[in-house]
């Protein structure tokens, strides 16, 4: 990939030497985590190709879009309505990062005890390693946690940054606030792009994003089968790439993969033997290349059959109603859908507890592993309520708190193996 895209990366002001070293390490990591698996679906070849070109062909597509006069908008959170971005003919890409890179640079501005997800996107940009961030005309933050909202204030020095306010309750007044934030975001996008969002454009973009959600919903429904027809690692990768790839191309390829997966389910074929312990991962999102815990779980004799996270069910569970005709009706539909997200930023958050239990029952799991990033207060604290609720439901529970480093992999594996051994 190096020779093919060096000129493009130089124009994006990447540190070419450090970037090449990063791609080499990530390539080997990907091979070890993913390509060593047995019995993978043929449809996963598309995802492997996307990953092989994640800093190449996809970045070229972004540059081509910019040459056409389109804007590239980066986001960090599923609360940002992608539908509005697409309705201005802009391109939307996810910016969360899941690796330790440039942390020393990030810590010049952030405390060491900052959530690694925040330090990661900071560090990747400051170390000139992220062509997605470099391609963005604007990044969109949100107030889902104190760490992120204060970090965005500093990050705005390095990149044009817009912040949406996300309420912390689901009262009538809170929903009205969020609707006003959607309108404010719409107006800002129109000024940035010079494109007026019409009911027709917004309706079309809602259908596009819903098609991607439906493809992922179908994938998640097929994962209920016994034996599990796809590994948790592959399913997580699919959900991760959904934030980077062209939405229609992605949906088309996942629909084909689901056809293949359906055949496997109908024939009773599994990626693991029947009787393999089934695990639900709950909690913080796992951004590329954060594959540590899934690898540990699935190399310890279990299979992951679902992710209750922003890179999982929380992102795909609900569709936006498509029956609106006026702009107000469509904005109402967006508000309704996005306020169904059960992020740990909300209080109280009974919805999330109910969803975890429902998901555990539907997926026929043997246990739930709650994953929280170090210094992520919302999910780390809410883990106590999750544990209490699952105890009431007699669902085995393991709490994991970790970061992006590989130093604790051995200790994690010991804990996970012990947990799996206790599952009936």
Digit-coded pLDDT (tens) for 42-88: 999 999 999 999 999 999 999 999 999 999 999 999 999 999 999 99
Structural domain count of the chain = 2
Phi, psi of 371 (to 5 degrees): -110, 125
**Quick one: average pLDDT of 314-334?**
97
Domain boundary among 178, 196, 214: 196
CATH of the domain at 298: 3.40.50.11900
CATH number at residue 61: 3.40.50.11890
Give yes or no: residues 152 and 210 share one domain.
no
Same domain, 121 and 243: no
DSSP structural state of residue 399: E
Residues 242, 178 within the same domain:
no
* CA-wise closest residue to 212 among 185, 243, 233, 183: 243
pLDDT exceeds 80 at position 3 = no
Single pTM value for the model: 0.96
pLDDT in tens, 377-396: 999 999 999 999 999 999 99
Residues 155 and 173 in one domain: yes
User: Is 357 a residue whose pLDDT tops 90?
Assistant: yes
Are 168 and 210 contained in the same domain? Answer: no
Task: Give yes or no: residues 181 and 149 share one domain.
Answer: yes
Residues 363 and 382 in one domain: yes
Nearest to 192 by CA among 97, 96, 92, 122: 92
Whether omega before 227 lies within 30 degrees of 0, making that bond cis, reads: yes
256 and 398 belong to one structural domain: yes
Task: Return the exposure string of 345-373: e unless at least 16 CB atoms fall within 10 Å of the residue's CB, then b.
Answer: bbeebeebbebbbebbebbebbbbbbbbb
The model's pLDDT over 258-285, given as tens digits with 9 standing for 90+, comes to 999 999 999 999 999 999 999 999 999 9
Q: What is the mean pLDDT of residues 387-412?
A: 97
Domain that holds residue 7: 2-196
Q: Same domain, yes or no, for 179 and 221?
A: no
Would you give the distance in Å from CA 359 to the centre of its chain? Answer: 18
CA 132 to chain centre: 15
Residue that finishes a domain, picked among 179, 196, 213: 196
Are 119 and 36 in a shared domain? yes
Look at residue 4 in the predicted model and tell me its pLDDT. Answer: 86
* Domain boundary, last residue among 174, 196, 218: 196
The predicted structure's pLDDT at residue 186: 98
The pLDDT of residue 1:
58
Buried b (16+ CB within 10 A) or exposed e, 229-257: bbbbbbbbbbbbbbbbbebeebbebbbeb
Does residue 90 sit in helix, strand or coil?
coil
Provide, rounded to the nearest whole percent, the portion of the chain with pLDDT above 70. Answer: 100
> Quick check: 2 pLDDT over 70?
no
- For residue 85, the model assigns a pLDDT of 98
Residues 370 and 401 in one domain: yes
The token pair at 262 is 């359906």
Which residue(s) pair with 161 in the sheet? 139
Task: Work out the mean pLDDT of the chain and round it to a whole number.
Answer: 96
Do 206 and 151 fall into the same domain?
no
- Residue pLDDT, tens place only, 75-124: 999 999 999 999 999 999 999 989 999 999 999 999 999 999 999 999 99
The whole-angstrom separation of Cα 308 and Cα 326 is 34
Q: What is the pLDDT of residue 424?
A: 76
The position carrying tokens 């800093």 is 55
């Amino acid at each position: 990939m190096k020779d093919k895209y060096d000129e493009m990366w130089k124009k994006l002001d990447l540190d070419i030497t450090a970037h090449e070293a990063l791609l080499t390490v990530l390539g080997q990591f990907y091979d070890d985590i993913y390509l060593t698996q047995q019995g993978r679906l043929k449809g996963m070849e598309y995802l492997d190709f996307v990953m092989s070109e994640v800093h190449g062909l996809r970045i070229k597509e972004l540059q081509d879009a910019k040459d056409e006069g389109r804007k590239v908008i980066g986001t960090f959170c599923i609360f940002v309505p992608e539908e509005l971005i697409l309705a201005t003919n802009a391109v939307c890409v996810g910016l969360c990062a899941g690796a330790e890179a440039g942390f020393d640079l990030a810590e010049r501005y952030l405390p060491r005890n900052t959530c690694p997800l925040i330090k990661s996107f900071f560090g990747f940009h400051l170390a000139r390693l992220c062509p997605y961030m470099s391609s963005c005309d604007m990044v969109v933050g949100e107030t889902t946690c104190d760490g992120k909202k204060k970090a965005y204030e500093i990050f705005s020095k390095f990149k044009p940054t817009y912040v949406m306010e996300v309420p912390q309750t689901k009262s009538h007044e809170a929903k009205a606030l969020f609707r006003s934030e959607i309108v404010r975001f719409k107006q800002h996008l129109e000024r940035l792009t010079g494109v007026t969002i019409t009911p027709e454009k917004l309706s079309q973009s809602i259908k596009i994003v819903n098609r991607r959600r439906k493809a992922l919903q179908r994938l998640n429904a097929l994962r209920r089968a016994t034996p599990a027809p796809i590994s948790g690692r592959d399913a997580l990768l699919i959900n991760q790439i959904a934030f980077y790839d062209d939405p229609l191309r992605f949906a088309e390829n996942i629909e084909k993969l689901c056809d293949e997966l359906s055949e496997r389910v109908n024939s009773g074929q599994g990626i693991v033997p029947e009787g393999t312990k089934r695990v639900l991962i709950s909690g913080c999102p796992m951004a590329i290349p954060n594959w540590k815990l899934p690898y540990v779980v699935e190399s310890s004799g279990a299979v992951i059959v679902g992710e209750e996270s922003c890179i999982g069910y929380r992102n795909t569970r609900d569709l936006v109603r498509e029956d609106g005709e006026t702009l107000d009706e469509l904005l109402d539909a967006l508000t309704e859908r996005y306020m169904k997200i059960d992020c740990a930023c909300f209080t109280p958050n009974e919805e999330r507890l109910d969803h975890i239990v429902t998901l555990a029952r539907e997926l026929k799991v043997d246990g739930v592993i709650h994953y929280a990033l170090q210094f992520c207060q919302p999910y780390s604290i809410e883990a106590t309520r999750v544990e209490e609720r699952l105890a009431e439901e007699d669902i085995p529970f393991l709490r994991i708190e970790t970061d992006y480093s590989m130093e604790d992999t051995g200790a994690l594996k010991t804990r996970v193996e012990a947990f799996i051994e206790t599952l009936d």
